[in-house]
Structure 1
């Protein structure tokens, strides 16, 4: 989101279905009340805002979703006019990142199973296979991966996608106060460093359950 948000022709929308997701599920996420108050609580209202009115031809709209926010009742036909791109990440790192901020983690929270379901649904509804990008691949070589991603999205490459100012951005959701401290400290893609993380026994079991979904998505990634 920081990378695309730093383009001269792009504006971002951060997790537009989050309030709807919390209202529907009743989950007690950090800052729940503030999130629910900040966005529409109806998925139809969210879709209406995302799909109209048309944005100028010279402008791009970057919409960051969390897959678990996309509940089954949402009509995927509404996404067919979008260029859908899936960012995948090693489930071990996802679980460790989640565990650092919240101790109630499930397959639904991790979102990889739902990510594959959404991928398959969009593929079935259209003639196009959605784009899949591995997070670690971008971190290892952003100067190669980001221009390639722009090419597949049919948008011009802008080198300012590699660097951005530190701090909060206008498009950040209200939940940034809880979740985005490390993101706010960044100014670009730091040199890649492999992360060694330790998981609890329960988290290792959770990891094992995610791997088949992750490995299936990896088959479709750029430079697989």
Structure 2
């Protein structure tokens, strides 16, 4: 296994580019029932100017991080966040030590067409791998150890293996019962509901790949995004377990 266990944190972060099965992972964490699950609070701040955590409206990244830390003194917290934006809080010297940071990656050749189909005016930066790698590098250097990195492709095909490994890395019990659930829309992702139709229909991590009309191989703009973002994905991939 790549990296040492990161036990002792009540605050877990999962950082992932959009369209990387991170909402399915969040759905699994909801099914566990032993964490407060917070869906994309930092991107909510960017998009709508505020995030809501346990009924509290928060309009500042520092305040948000302080709130999450405070809640984590009383109960376990899992935060799923996407990396289409660069978050200023990453520059805070204490950021690497706040909670346990984990990372989910997916081949950008699959990510980019899926993201473009949802948002045709997407910019290259919003693909998210560069931002994700910056967070990974900041945490890696800050804690002096490799944070946990997992692949969405393996999560889809070997969900029990990946989830077991994740639980071991972050120091929580593996719950086989959380690998499946009833299809439903969730209040947790109400702001971005249209992005999570597959997650709402899902019963587990099974994923059926789609073929999109615009792809990296037939769209010059998407190809340029791929060429820019792939090196960051490749660096992250080198830290996968095994």
TM-score (norm 2): 0.78
Alignment size in residue pairs:
207
Cα offsets for 1:165-191 (capped at 9, x unmatched): 211223224222x2112211111122x
Which is richer in strand?
2
Contact 1:5 1:62 in 2 (8 A): no
The CA distance in 2 between the partners of 1:222 and 1:94, in whole Å, is: 21
Match of 1:46 in 2: 64
Superposed, 1:81-96 pairs within 5 Å as 81-96=98-113
- The reply on whether 1:21 has 2:46 as its aligned counterpart is yes
Q: Compute the displacement of 1:54 (Å).
A: 3.5
Q: How does 1:128-143 map to 2 (within 5 A)?
A: 128-143=145-160
Would you say the 8 A contact 2:68–2:77 is kept in 1? no
Are residues 1:2 and 2:2 paired? Answer: no
Change (3 A) 1:78 1:209: closer
Stretches of structure 1 lacking an aligned partner (at least 5 in a row): 23-34
Q: 1:119 to 1:38 in 2, by over 3 A?
A: closer
Larger mean Cα displacement after TM superposition, 63-72 or 116-125: 63-72
Q: Which moved further from structure 2: 6-15 or 47-56? A: 47-56
Aligned counterpart, 2:3: none
Matched, 1:213 2:238: no
List per-residue Cα deviations over 1:35-55 (Å, max 9, x = no partner): 446543311221121111444
Other structure's SS at 1:146 match: helix
Question: Contact 1:47–1:78 (CA<8 Å) still a contact in 2?
Answer: no
Instruction: Report how far residue 160 of structure 1 moved.
Output: 2.0
- Shift of residue 146, structure 1, vs aligned partner: 0.9
Partner SS for 1:63: strand
Structure 2, gaps ≥5 residues long: 1-25, 53-57
The aligned runs of 1:59-208 (5 Å cut-off) are 59-72=75-88, 74=90, 75=92, 77-176=94-193, 178-190=194-206, 193=208, 195-197=210-212, 198-199=215-216, 200-208=219-227
The structure-2 alpha-carbon separation of the partners of 1:87 and 1:14, relative to structure 1 and needing over 3 Å to count, comes to same
Give the TM-score taking structure 1 as reference length: 0.84
* Deviations 1:73-128, CA, capped at 9 Å, x for gaps: 54252351311110001111111111111111223211101111111111111122
SS in 2 for 1:69: coil
